Amino acid sequence: MATPGTLIEEGSEEIMLPEDYKRVLRILSGSTSLAFLELSTLMNLKPDRLKVIIDDLAQQGLVKVRNPDDPRDEIVTVKARAASAALAVGAQ
């Protein structure tokens, strides 16, 4: 994962997230699911960079990815615990 940013606490679990990762979670928490390429456009990130972020978040169990092998059909969904944590960080 990239350089850690602000700490998100979820019960006894602590997750360190860089700013780009938190932005992804905040955007997804507002719409629940987005197409990968739409998220890339909203974030103003190259798809390759966003793919690294999404893969890291999925590995941590914060997002779910449908059709990960095809960016044109890939859908990213934020999981409930990540959405609440992202909204809490966004309010700070």
Tell me the pTM. 0.74
**More reliable by pLDDT, 71 or 30:** 30
Q: How confident is the model at residue 89, as a pLDDT?
A: 52
* For residues 46-50, average pLDDT: 93
Residue 35: φ, ψ to 5°: -70, 145
Q: Look up residue 68 and give its amino acid.
A: P
Count of alpha carbons within 13 angstroms of residue 36, beta-carbon side: 23
Q: Which CATH architecture has domain 7-90?
A: Orthogonal Bundle (1.10)
Of the ranges 2-11, 60-69, 77-86, the best mean pLDDT one: 60-69
64-83 tens-digit pLDDT? 898 878 877 888 888 776 65
